[in-house]
Structure 1
Amino acid sequence: MGLASLANIDWSEVIIGMVVLLFSLSLHESAHAWMADRRGDPTGRHLGRVTLNPLPHIDWIGTVLFPLLGLLSPLGIFFGWAKPVPVNTANLKNPRWDHVLVAAAGPVSNILAAVAFLLGLRLLIGFFPGELEAGHTVASPLYLLCVTGLFLNTILAVFNLIPVPPLDGSWVLAGVLPNQLGSFFDAIRPYSFMLLLVLFFSGLIDILLIPVLNLVNILAS
């Protein structure tokens, strides 16, 4: 990337995008740690993971490098991940069902965040009709913050609920299915990386995400 390309970048969008990503990933992982602690496993809490401070959650590749490269690339691909919270299921009060709650806590936290950003967005649109997208008001950065937060948290929630290892949805489904069916996920966990590649490059991820994002876009407009 040359100096001319760097000069054309909207750095306010990059900064707001990174702030929202750090918050959203920290919320997701802290929700896992908080629920695990509530259900009897203090491992995450002892590691300082029950916090919205992003530092304990940062994976330098997934939380910093990958999203920055995505934001700065011509494609504008913006995604990332944080360090997973370790869970010792032996400490849980009811290992099978409590693990379902722990796994679901992350995506649920992102759904709640998306709803909060949507409400904030609707309030801004009500106060500044027709002015926000054009950047004609001091509230435009807040508008960008809410839009980014809404769509990013929606993507994180839907993506993590896909029942493919190592995503949260696989742990949720494995816990609610009968034992023989649930063990299927244990059998395919060693192939998690390959499964994720298939998910991305086959277009399946678009089939799952696009209808949800279209609905969110209607709600936000």
Structure 2
Amino acid sequence: MDFNIAEYIRFMSLAIVPFFFAITVHELSHGVAAYMLGDDTAKRLGRLTLNPFAHIDIVGLLFLLITQLFGWAKPVPVNFSRLRNNKYGMAIVAAAGPVSNIAVALASALLLQAVLVVPIHADTLAAKIAMPIAIMLKLSVQINVALAVFNLIPILPLDGGRILTNFLPYEKAFKFSQTERYGFIIIILLFLTGIFDKTVLPVIRYLTAFLL
């Protein structure tokens, strides 16, 4: 299949705003959860903001440009030892990101339905405005679901890995934490070997179809 550069640019121009919003809300939610539990590290470093440029990771953005679905932001720094909830603090902070993305995906789906039910005549200014908005809302659902499910994979440093670490016995948690240095390599292998397509992608497709 030939690569259509014009179509690609058009797609990315519509996807970039939902993507930036998704990763910004994701990281902000981590920081807010940590702040509410007693750690102000993210606040002191200026990460409690909806400014996407405070969260953008160049490699994560490039990954989006390649996959047209997945990407990531710079992780919000959290000092887990400062959290008031010593037992479940790590899990709460880690879960805040994916939960926020599911909330955004649900809100986007509801807004999309509202846009689609409004009768709009073709070739009008309203139609020219509504169509891109509808596409961006649909992409928002897809991107936020993908970001939530992807981050819940139980691999460090993903949120799923943090949650799993929180619930493991101390010795097993310590051993599991040693795998974080290989996390990025493991994630790339999941993509290259097709394991991701057979396990994670079907979940993303099912949830996206359900919301849409």
TM-score interval, normalised by the smaller of the two chains: 0.7 to 0.9
Aligned residue in 1 for 2:208: 216
In structure 2, how many angstroms separate the alpha carbons of the residues matched to 1:90 and 1:219?
Answer: 37
The C-alpha deviation readout for 1:72-112, integer Å capped at 9, x for no partner, is xxxx6332211111111121113341111111111111010
SS of equivalent to 1:104: helix
Q: Which residue number corresponds to residue 51 of structure 1?
A: 49
What corresponds to 2:33 in structure 1? 35
- Which one of the candidate residues 113, 116, 135 is aligned to 1:144? 135
- Relative to the length of structure 2, the TM-score reads 0.86
- Whole-angstrom distance in 2 between the partners of 1:129 and 1:209: 34
Could you tell me the TM-score, scaled by structure 1's length? 0.83
Q: 1:181 aligns with which of 153, 172, 179?
A: 172
Partner residue in 1 for 2:82: 91
The amino acid of 2:78's aligned partner reads V
Q: How does 1:38-187 map to 2 (within 5 A)?
A: 38-63=36-61, 65-68=62-65, 70=66, 77-128=68-119, 138-187=129-178
Amino acid at match of 2:209: N
Distance across 1 between alignment mates of 2:121 and 2:171: 56
CA offset at residue 197 of structure 1?
2.0
Q: Does 1:197 align with 2:188?
A: yes
What amino acid is aligned across from residue 21 of structure 2 in structure 1?
F
Instruction: Note if contact 2:99-2:148 (Cα within 8 Å) is conserved in structure 1.
Output: yes
CA deviation after TM superposition for structure 1 residue 32, in Å: 0.5
Q: Which amino acid aligns with 2:64?
A: P
Distance 1:40 1:10, change over 3 A: same
Structure 1 residues 20 and 163 mapped into 2: Cα distance closer, same or farther (>3 Å)? same
1:173 offset after TM fit, Å?
1.2
Distance 2:192 2:23 in 1: 23
Percent of paired sites with the same residue: 37
Q: Which moved more, 1:34-43 or 1:183-192?
A: 183-192
Kindly provide the amino acid, as one letter, of the partner of residue 188 in structure 1. T
- Matches of 1:130 and 1:180, distance apart in 2: 64
What's the CA shift for 1:196?
1.0
Question: How many residues align structurally?
Answer: 206
Q: CA RMSD in A?
A: 2.4
Structure with more contact order per residue of length (Cα contacts < 8 Å, sep ≥ 6): 2
Question: Which residue identity is paired with 2:204?
Answer: V
Give the Cα separation in 2 of the matches to 1:147 and 1:159. 18
SS in 2 for 1:9: helix
> CA 1:150/1:42 → structure 2, altered by over 3 Å: closer, same or farther?
same
Determine if contact 2:190/2:196 at 8 Å carries over to the other structure.
Answer: yes
Moved over 6 A (4+): none
